[in-house]
Structure 1
C-alpha cells in the first residue's frame, strides 16, 4: 500500500484529495488544525497539524513514522490568502502568510526527505497557484509566497533527483470555493481606518465576491493531485486547464500585456458588480 501525506485536509482541495487517494487504496495521513473536519475512511488517518508551528510539524511527521516507514508522496497543500494593501498589512500577518504558505511546506519537506532518500524514491507535490506567476492588487504577499514556493520547488527538484525523488508544482486557477470571500475578508480586516486604499479594496471586493461557484471544483483539483502523484514521467508543472496554462504564459512572457489585460478585466468585473 502506497502512502501519501496531505496537509490542509479539512476542506477544499485537501479534503477531496484525501478521499480520492483513499478510494484508490492509498494510506492517507491527513493533517489539519481542525482534525474533526478531515474526511473519515478506513484508509485515512487524521492528525493534528498547524504548519506555522515547528513543534507541530515535527510531531506530525514523527507520528507518521511511528505508523509507517514508507512515505511515497507529500502534498504541501495548506495555504490561504492574506489580502490587503501592501503598505497596511501588519508585519505579523505578513509573517503568518509566509509561515503558512511557504515555510511550513519547507519544514515538512525537510522532515520527510531523509525517508525518501533512504528508500530512493518519493515525490514532493507543492500546491502553488497561477498566482505564483500573475497577480492582482491587494495580493502582494500571497503572490510572493507562491512565487517563492515555485522557485524553491524547482531548485529542490534538481537537488533530490539523484536519489530518485522529485519536486512538482501544481498551479490551480479559479476554483469554485470560498477562497475569494476569505481573501477579501482579510483585506477588509487589514484596511486601516480612513485608508487611501478604500476605493481599491471596494473594486477588488466587487471582482472577487460572489465567485464561489466559478471555476474548477475541488474534486477536479484533487484528481489532478492524484495524476501528478502517479504519472510515470511527471511534469514539473501541472495545470487544470489550457486557460490556466495560457494566462501564466502571457504573464511570464508578456508582462506589460498581462498588466493591461488584468487592469481591464478587474475594472470590467468590478463595474458589473457595482
Structure 2
C-alpha cells in the first residue's frame, strides 16, 4: 500500500515573524524511560520540546517542566502527519527529531506470530522512517536539522530468541547510515545512538513476551536461560545503566557542532561492540552460546 506523501501544506507554515527563534525538538516514546528523560533534558538545554506517545497521561510531569505533550501513535500515519503539522503551525520550525519509540518482543522465530513480527517492524522501523519522511522537507527548507535514531548495540550483535527484535535494529542501522549520506548536502545530520543494557520497562516487556511465546513449546528451556540473562539488566548495576545516561548522550548528539555518526552508550556497550568487531563469527557464536545457553 502506497504511503501518502509527506505533509507540506502551505497553510501549516506561519509567517516568518511568528516563527520561533528557539530550536524545537520532537521526541517520540516520551511517556517513560529514555524518551521521558530525553525530553526533560532537552528542555533544560534550551529547546522547545514536544514529547509524544500513546499514553499522554503518563507525561504529566513533563508538562509541568514546560514540555508540550500530545498523543501520537507511530503506527498511525494520520497521527504522525497531524503531529508534525501541529509543530510547524505552532513553531514554524523543527530542528531535532529523536526517534525513540520502540520495543523488544522476544521468542523463537518459529513461535512468534508473523503479525507480531510485522508490528515490531511497524513500530521500530517504519514508524521511525515515516516520521523521518515527514520532518525532512521542513529541515531541508531550513538547510539545517538533526535526526537522532535510537538504535541499540542489538543492531550490531545477536541473541537467541531475539531474531525479530535484532532484525529491526539492524534495519535501523542500515537505514540511518544511508540516510546520513543522503541528507548531508542539505545540512541535515543523521545520528545513531546505540544503548547497551538499560534499566527500563523495555526489559520487562521483552521477558514477558519471551515467556509467553515459549511456554509449553520446544524452546521453553532455552527461554528460561535467555530470560535470566535479560533479567540481569534490572538487577545488576554492573551490567546495566539508568536511562539518564542515554538521555545525556542524546542531548550531546543534539547540541554538538559536528556530531559523530554513532554514539554507543551505557555500561558494557563499547566492550560488546568491540568484541563483535574483532571476533570471527564462529568465535562470537561461541561467546553468545556460553552466555545464553549454559
TM-score by length of 2: 0.87
Is 1:245 aligned with 2:267?
A: no
- Find out whether 1:265 has 2:294 as its counterpart: no
Whether the 8 Å CA contact 1:22–1:41 is kept in 2: the answer is: no
Aligned to 2:58: 37
Give the superposition deviation at 1:42. 5.1
Aligned to 1:6: 27
Q: Which residue of 2 is the match for residue 211 of structure 1?
A: 233
> How far apart are residue 242 of structure 1 and its match?
7.6
Aligned with residue 130 of structure 1, among 153, 175, 179: 153
For 1:100-115, what aligned pairs fall within 5 Å after superposition? 100-115=123-138
* Equivalent residue number for residue 229 of structure 1: 254
CA shift, 1:209, in A, is: 2.3
Q: CA deviation at 1:138?
A: 1.0
The aligned counterpart of 1:197 is 219
SS of equivalent residue, structure 1 residue 131: helix
TM-score, normalised to structure 1, is 0.93
Q: Following superposition, which runs of at least 4 residues in structure 1 exceed 4 angstroms of deviation?
A: none
Cα distance in structure 2, aligned partners of 1:20 and 1:57: 23
Distance 1:194 1:217, change over 3 A: closer
Confirm or deny: 8 A CA contact 1:26 1:43 kept in the other structure: no
> Do structure 1's residue 256 and structure 2's residue 276 form an aligned pair?
no
Match for residue 147 of structure 1? 170
Provide the rounded CA distance (Å) in 1 between the counterparts of 2:268 and 2:228.
22
Q: Secondary structure at the match of 1:212?
A: helix
Tell me, which stretches of 5 or more residues in structure 2 are unaligned? 1-21
SS of the residue 1:123 aligns to: strand
SS at 2:265 equivalent: coil
Which residues in structure 2 correspond to 1:140-179 (within 5 Å)?
A: 140-179=163-202
Contact 2:197–2:266 under 8 Å retained in 1: no
1:187 correspondence with 2:213: no
Note the C-alpha offset of 1:83.
0.5
Q: Give the aligned CA root-mean-square deviation in angstroms.
A: 1.5
2:285 and 2:24 map into 1 onto residues whose CA distance is 42
SS of 1:234's partner is coil
